Structures are given as structure tokens and as C-alpha cells.
A and B are shown apart, each in its own frame.
Chain A
Amino acid sequence: MKAERPKFIGARIQRFEDTRLLSGTARYIDDIVLPNMLHLNFLRAETAHATILDIDTSALADLDFPTWVFTGKDTAGLSMKAHQDVPEMQYSEQPFLAEGKVRFVGEPVAVILAEDPYKAEDAAELVFVDYDPLPVVGTMEQARDPEMPPLFDGWKGNVIVERQMKGGDLAAARAAAAHIITRTYRTQRQAGVPMEGRGVVAHYNPADRVLTVWSSTQMPHLVRTYISEELGLPESRIRVVAPDVGGGFGVKGQVYADEILIAWLAMKTGRPVKWIEDRREHLIASIHARDHEHTLEAYVSADGRLLGLKADITVDNGAYSTYPFTSAGEPGMVGKVLPGPYDFQAYEATFRAVATNKCAIGTYRGVARPSAVFSQERLMDDIAAELGIDPFEFRLKNIIRQFPYKNVLGFTYDEGSYAQSLEQMRELLAEDIAEAEVSKSSATRRVGVGIACFIEQTAHGTPDFTRRRTPIETGYIAARVDMSPDGEITIDLGLQSHGQGLETTMAQVAADALGMKPENVYVRHGDTMTTPYSVGTWGSRGGALGGGAVHIAATRIADKLRTIAAHLLQSKPDQIDLVDGRAQVRDNPGSFIEIKKIARIAQRNVEQMPDGMTPGLEAHASCDGPRDGTYANAVHAAVVEIDILTGKTKLRRFVVIEDCGTMLNPLVVDGQVRGGVVQGIGSAMLEHFIYDSECQPLTTNFADYLMPLAPEIPNIEVHHIETPTPLTPLGAKGLGEGGAIGPAAAIANAVGNALGTGVAETPLNTNAVWKLSQHIRETA
């Protein structure tokens, strides 16, 4: 069957969801209001590591309003179990409410419910916890110190998991190397911070045994499954709804203990229960991200060829393991992706997660890759500097050019535009590079140019998840497409849209397949009652796999439309084109029938259908990712101007050349890239979640936790190369995270270029840059 030339895929279509979002009529979690609702306030640990001696709730009795209080004793046995099923991993669970011990500041110790949120907060202040402090495990070094007491009973030390990956002959690479370059790189701990925090509302109706949970989540089906498993309710009677979600960025892409706890509380109290996270809670206790240290050793030939790479990777995971990606996910991902876009044949990575008395690390835009690419691309610059080669030259010498390419770990890369994007970037930056060179003589003001060249494994398929042996077992996305008798189309999408524009892009995909307009398509998502089971929106899979599923399902309906049309027009199905709302005979466009009419026939005038054909125009399809995913690629470049005497660093220019295969909607692609880049700029220059030596958090509000504001941010120049992948139905690769992956590396390289020094860690705030420019001030 010949597919019609896409009309809407690739078009810059304004988003349908915007009207709702702009007019104030969107419905976010805090807009869910139920009669008789109770409001929940968490009492959270104020000590990082302590034994709970007593929780005194007696003062609540004196209040002149009713309260409900629950502690770990009430929820004993309920926990998050997020384990990687490998012998190297030490097992732990996170109790819904602390049982016996607290392990980080912010850990929920009790919940207090009242009929008003202000009062719930009043009441929570009257509950007193008596703690007996324990020694705090506060750093990676302490966590790896066998003398430190383990965070969990039965553990040996605080290394949660340590594993290896290797390929090729590293000893041979080392022996053949003319240069051995060893460096250690660190990326700081940060928070994700969607502008809407998390929140949960739960309601249980005992009459029909139906539990409804609204949650600001990216993965409603996985929340449903976990609730079912933990509370013993059938999944058929649990409905999880993600309403409009005010940003997620991966932060809302884990199942949290509170989502199940609040469901349990609704059942327990017999009343709807609501919790809206506040900013302090979000910053200290949702999830954190990054906090990596990588020591890399590169083996390089005399002529500048990368022969091999050895990596030692540590992630400070915090206290608990998150579901479903687990504490093994982050370090494992670094080990997997470090080979990057470069061609070399020997590799060995040792990677570990260690436990400390901090908030758990979870998935945040880019997951481990911003850190991995920071190290990889800093290393490329450091090697180039050591060898006295231009950083572009060095990369081009080692870049992969033949596709498909099987990398040193056995992963197959589909076709990309690695070298082309590097070459193109070099041209775009020519003037800045020249200016940077000239500024080298200045002791007060320096310009620097830095790049980051990377690939991103996206749209991972089930085999990739199976290999991980973590609770995220599958990677498919499903969609159900339905054309109603009036010809209008509904997509029930297993993805959840929290800013990605899926209500528009998926409509574009269906419209093309069905010869209709995107306006005819209504996309529903986020509600397990209407949408087919899927793992949710994360891991840059929406466009590629969601789009794939919609395409497959819509194509099935299109096939049926063609068959009916052929029957009515006395033609053959493969002679029928679906265009502009009509099913028409290819060589005789005058012979047509309106698709609307076929839709009616298929459901209301079924006597006109071909004999034996089942009524209805409905199709369910799923689309799984390819075995090794599909590899998007990009080059990011930053141009910085540094005031050497104050450390003030101005980001003058940020350029992206990206290749995400087929673009469904360039408007949305640009938005995703720019938004991701600005988050990456935050990681590179501002955002730092800081604990003191007792693991007390110091950056618990927006005056201390600094995110990019408009004045500091330049326009982000985005250039596209489209290399469609044969591995997904529409040729699309993932794109949601890429923007956030490159900036830390590009900006660090730019700062390094400006200052003529290596940069070992982020964030590059004014203080850090000032420190790095010490040598210039001293010699001036």
C-alpha cells in the first residue's frame, strides 16, 4: 500500500491545546476539587539520619477542628520496591512513611489530614518527633568508606551497586597509545523543578470498589500497576488520571510512594484526599538529578586516533531507589553511553551508585547523559589541547562516518549526520572562533567558544529494558484510534502530554494517514480509563513511538476505509487515495466518496459495507522501540564572554544543530530544543542543590535554587538536519531531552577555551569562573 505524501507531518501547525492553556481553562491537579475532601500535609524529617524514638501526636486532640494522623506504624509494610535484579545490587525499600529511621531531610515521617489545607499545616506543626541522630553519610567518599555504618540493615557498606561493561581489548589499546590522558569530571546535584509541583488526589468508592487517583504524573499506567500490586486492588478497578500537567521533565516520570499512600489514605479515611506539593517539598524531596563523578582515561595514538577509553563512574544516589528506573539506572546509563559518537574499539567502564543521606536521584531531562556528555566532551577538548590539535579537527578525526555502526559495546547506531553537523557548526562559528583567539591576549575580558557533539539513544525498545533487569520491563507505546460515524477521529493515546504538544502532533499523524485534517482529530491522553496501557511519556519516545503507534492504528482504519470505498466506487482498495476528506479513485478523482460518509456507513448503514466486514472504524496498535533504540545526534555550541575580574560570564550565543530524523512539527521541535537547552544552561551555570556536611539542604527556595531567568538567556539558534531513521514508522527519532544534554559540555568547553584551562566541574557560576580565571589575574 502506497502511503500518501504527508501533508501535515512536518508542517508548522499551531498547537490545539494552546487555547485551553492560554485561557485559564486548563485543569491541573490543584484544580481537582471533590466534595468532602481532606487535605494532607506531610511531616518531613528535619534530620538527615536518625532513629525515630517517638512521634507525639497528642496535641492534635486539643485542636478545635478534626484531624487524622498516620505514621509509619500505620503504613508498616507498604513501601516502594525498586530493585535491579542482579547479584551486585544491595536491596532496599522506601517505606511510605519512615519506619524506625529517617534517611534524608524531607523524608515523610507522618501525614496529617484536615478539612482545609491551612489547617492541615497548622496541625502538622503540633506533631513532635524525637530523633536520635546517627552518623551522616554525606559524600561519595564517605559512602565508599567501609568504616561508615550502612544506611540499611544487612547491607555491607554503602555501595548500592557496582558493575562493569566492556568491549574490545583495552590492554592492547593502552599498550598502543602514544598518549594517555586521565581526567576526573564532576557534575553537580540539582533538582528538576517543573513550574507545577507534584500533587495527588485520590477517591475510593467502596460501593463499586473503584479507586480513582489523579496525579500530576508522566506515567499514569505505571502508577496504576504499582497501586494495584501494593494495595491488592484489581487494576480494572483503579483509574489513574493525569490531568493537565504543568511540566514534568522526568521528575514526574517515577512512581512516588505518596501516590500510593494517598490512595491508601482515601480508602482508609473513606474520604477523598488531596495533596499539593509545595516548593520546599519539591526541592528537598521529589527527586534530584546528576551528582556524578567520572574518572576517564583515554588512550590515543600518536596521530590523534582514539584507541580506547576506561571509565570509573560514581553516582551519589541519595538514600532510596526510585521506581521504575532504580538507583542502578543512572550509573548504568553513563557506562552505556560514554562511547558516544566516536569510533574506537576498546572500552571498559566500572560504574556504581552509592547511598548517602540525601534525596534520591531520579530521572531528569537527559537522565545520565548531560553528565556523560559533559565528561566525554570535556575529555575530547582536554585531549585535543594536550595533543595541540584543534577541537573540531580532533573530533572529526574520530567521528563515526559509516552507518549502521556497531559500537564497542555492540550497540548498533542507525544513520546520523555526525560529521556533517560538526562541519556545519564550524562554519557557523568561524567569526566567534577568530574573536576568541584575539581575546586570548586580554587579561580582563575573554571570549571562548565550546562545542559538544553527542548522540542520544532514544525510543528505547523492550529489549533494552529487559537487559536492564529493573522494573521498567517494556518500552512500547500504544494508541487506539477511532473514527466516529460523523467522520471525526479520536485518539486515545498511551502517552501523557505535559507540554510536548502531543494533542497536535498526534493529530497531524492521524490526519495524514486518514486523509483528514488535524482539526478533525481529538487526542485524549493521561487517563487509564480511556487510554491503552503504556509506560508513559519519558525517554524521548513520544514522537517516535507514540507517533508510530498512531500511524499504525490510523493506517489500519485507512485500509478499511479504502476497502469500503473501493466496494462502493467499484474500484480496488489499492487504487483509493484518502485526501482532503475524500476517498477517491487514483486515476479518476471525479469518482470519490466523502470519508465522513464511509464512517457513517461503517457504523450506521452497515448494510452498505462489503459482505462479512465487521462494523466499526477502530484500531488499537502499539509501537515498540528498536532493539538498540534510534540514535539522534546533535552538536551544541556556546560562545561566552568572561569578565575575568568578576567572574561574570555572559552567554553570548548558543547554537544547536540537531538531527531527530523526521520532524512531526518543526514549531514543536524548536520549542523542545530551546526549552531543553535553557534547562541545560541552568545545569551548566546556575542550578545547584547544596547540602551541608550534615546533609541539611541549603537551597530550599527559589532565592537559593537559581534557575535561568529571561534576561540571562540568549536566543537559541536552532538548525536542523533530517536523517529519517528506518527503525520507526515515521522516521522520527526522539527529541525531547536532547536540548538539555549538550549545554553543560558546550559551555564548559567555551569557558575552558576562553580561559585556556581545563574545566572539571559544573556549575560554572560566577564564583567558579572567577576561581578558574585566577591564573590570568595573577599573571596580569
Chain B
Amino acid sequence: MRPASFEYHRATSLDHALELLHEFGEEGRPIAGGQSLVPMMNFRLARPGHLVDINRLPLGGIEIDGQVLRIGALTRHEAYFNDPLIARHFPAFLDAVHYIGHPTIRRNGSIGGSISHADPTAELPAVAVLHDADIVVRSVQGTRKIKAVEFFLSAYVTAIEPGEMVVALEFPLPPSASTGSFIEQSERSGDFGTASIGITLQFAGGKIGKAAMVCSGADLFPIRAPEIEEFLVGKALADPGAAEAGRIFAASIDPVDDHIASADYRRGLIAELTRRAIEAACTRALDKS
């Protein structure tokens, strides 16, 4: 259980990294925290010919840039715990981070790595999809922004092309009368979730305005729940019909049936987590209003 041979390149600047990735194409891979890539390499399930180490690039940081919160690709998971911007604007995000792995993993794993790795039930991909984040991808050709909902194509498959890398995620800042929540269930704490639900709500006058919902565990990548988002509009915060929303959503999905969980269980669990996430978000909204 040791990796196959590869060549190692330490990127000294973003342009350098992009040049290297351009040069190596399919054979080249960025390495960030290594918390997902190196296990795969040790099992020899991943065998990149060239690793481009981006860890010494100045790609970290959480900052407001106009109407978005910009999170640099190398921002480590633990950074969110004490970040006032996350706490203020993105409660669902903050909830979600608590479910990621263990302290050492969180200290080293990065958001760019997490979304590029695209584990089907990883938290940050779900968070990106929930908040309609733009994924800022660069290559020697330039920059493109990919909507999170279009970024995740399947389990471990994303819209990143060879030669490209993620440099940041941009989260549109929500209006102040908004909140959210994220709930996950896994077999043990720190495991990838069996299923999770994230909710964001805008509210006014005791009622839900716009809502968004994401679900991991229903498909091979995090999916939005447009019918529930629709359903929630106009519902009273005190009585949002959360259980019904859970039932409607669960009936609409077709989760996998495998050795980790049966499809029935996933469906039942998702219904319940939907209810809880909606209720938690509404409670927060009521507290806030």
C-alpha cells in the first residue's frame, strides 16, 4: 500500500502551477491537503504521473468581495470554525463543517480539494450546491466560473478539465433576513454521511420567502430539491410543513441500495433529516426575527 512513482513539482506561483498542469494534462494533478488524494494513491487507485503541490501558494483566505464571500481553494476546513463571516452569513455552512472528519483531517484538508475530489456525501460540495456558489476555475487559458449545480457530475467526477484547477469558491452573500441549517447522519462521528440535508431560508413577516435545499445521499452527488424549495415559499416559520416536505422529497428520489444502507433506509432517513433541517432553520429564523 504505497504509491506508484510520480514526479513532484512544487508550484512557486499560481501561474507556475497552471503552466505545470497545462503541460501534464491528464497526467497532472494538484495536491492540496492530500487527505483524499494520498489515500487513493496509497491504494494505487490514483496514479498521477505528476503532482503539482499547490500548498505554498497564497490561495487561502475567507473574505468579502463585493456581493460574494470568496473562499480561497486552500482554505482549510478548520478555518471556518472561528470565522465571523461564515458564522454571520452562512449558518448552514458552519453546521456542515462540524461533520467533516476529525481534527487532523480538518486542519489539512482544503475546500478546493474537497470539491475537486467530489465524494458523493462530502459536506463542502453540498454546501456549495446549497448556496449556489460559483466555482472559480483557472487554467493557462484564463478563468471560468462554474455554477456548483453544474460542477458535480457524478461520484468523484466534476466539470474540471485537465489543466484546470480550482482557485476559489464564491458564495453569494445572502440578505440579512435569512438563515439556514445543515443536518447529517453518519454511522460514526466524522464519517462521510449516510445522508445530509442543508436548508437556507429568506424570511419576512413570519413567513418563508425564498428557500433552498440540498441533499446528499440521494444521488451520486449533492442535489437540489426544487419542488421543496417551491413548497416552502410562503409557509409560516412556525409551521412550515416540514414533515410533509420530507415525505414529498423522499418520494421523489431514488437512492442507491448498497451494503452501507438500503434504499428504503436512505429514503426514510432523508425524509426525517429534511424535516429536521427545515425545522431547525425555521427556529433560527424565528430567533432572528
A and B touch in their complex, CB below 8 angstroms:
yes
Chain A residues at the B interface, C-beta cutoff of 8 Å = 117-118, 121-122, 125, 278-280, 645-648, 686, 690, 692, 698-699, 701, 703-704, 706, 708-709, 711-712, 765-767, 770-771, 777
A–B Cβ pairs within 8 angstroms, 23 of them: A117-B2, A122-B4, A125-B44, A280-B43, A647-B269, A686-B188, A701-B43, A703-B192, A704-B260, A706-B191, A708-B188, A709-B188, A709-B190, A711-B189, A711-B190, A712-B188, A766-B185, A766-B187, A766-B269, A767-B261, A770-B265, A770-B268, A771-B264
Nearest CB in chain A: distance from B257 CB, A: 11
The answer to whether A121 touches B185, judged by C-beta atoms less than 8 angstroms apart, is: no
B262 within 8 A of A: yes
Query: Which chain A positions have C-beta within 8 A of B268?
Result: 645, 770, 777
Task: Tell me whether A647 and B191 are in contact (CB under 8 A).
Answer: no
> How far, in angstroms, from A765 to B186 measured CA to CA in the complex?
10
Given the complex, which residues of A lie within 8 Å of B3, measured CB to CB? Answer: 118
Chain A residues contacting B264 (CB-CB under 8 Å) are 771
Within 8 Å CB of B67, what residues of A? none
Determine whether the beta carbon of B187 is less than 8 Å from that of A646.
no
Q: Which residues of B contact A704 (CB under 8 A)?
A: 260
Contact pattern, B 184-202, Cβ under 8 Å of A = 1, otherwise 0: 0101111110100000000
- Which of B's residues lie within 8 Å of A, judged by CB? 1-5, 39, 43-44, 185, 187-192, 194, 259-262, 264-265, 268-269, 272-273
Q: How far is the CB of A40 from chain B (nearest CB, A)?
A: 14
Residue contact A278 to B1, C-beta cutoff 8 Å: yes
Q: Report chain B residues within 8 Å CB of A125.
A: 4, 44
A703 to B5, CA, bound (A): 25
Task: Enumerate chain B residues within 8 angstroms of A711, measured Cβ to Cβ.
Answer: 188-190
* Nearest neighbor of B4 in chain A, beta-carbon distance: A122
Contacts of B265 in A (CB 8 A): 647, 766-767, 770-771
Closest beta carbon of chain B to A686's beta carbon, Å: 7
- Asked if B1 and A279 make an inter-chain contact with CB atoms under 8 angstroms apart, the answer reads yes
- Contact call B273/A122, Cβ cutoff below 8 A: no
Minimal Cβ-Cβ distance residue in B for A766: B187
Contact of B2 among A118, A698, A706, A767 (CB under 8 A): A118
Contacts of A279 in B (CB 8 A): 1
Say whether A690 contacts B185, CB under 8 Å.
no
Q: Which residues of A contact B44 (CB under 8 A)?
A: 121, 125
Task: Chain A residues near B187: list those with CB within 8 A.
Answer: 686, 706, 765-766
Do residues A709 and B189 form an inter-chain contact, with CB atoms below 8 A? yes
Task: Report B57 CB to chain A, min CB distance, Å.
Answer: 29
* Pairwise interchain contact A648-B43, C-beta atoms closer than 8 A: no
Chain A residues lying within 8 Å of B261, measured Cβ to Cβ, are 766-767
CB-CB nearest in chain B for A710: B189
Excluding A121-B44, A686-B187, 9 further A-B contacts by CB distance (< 8 Å) are A122-B5, A648-B185, A699-B259, A709-B188, A709-B190, A712-B188, A770-B268, A771-B262, A771-B264
CA distance A699 to B192 in the complex (A): 15
CA distance A416 to B259 in the complex (A): 42
A646 to B259, CA, bound (A): 18
- Is A770 touching B189 in the complex (CB atoms < 8 A)? no
- A88 → chain B, closest Cβ, in Å? 34
Contact, CB under 8 Å: A690 / B188: no
Complex CA–CA separation, A777 to B187 (angstroms): 21
Q: How far is the CA of A280 from the CA of B187 in the complex (A)?
A: 21
Question: Closest residue of chain B to A711, judged by CB?
Answer: B189
Interchain CA distance A121-B1 in the complex, whole Å: 8
Known contacts A280-B43, A703-B191, A706-B191; is-contact A646 B4 (Cβ 8 Å): no
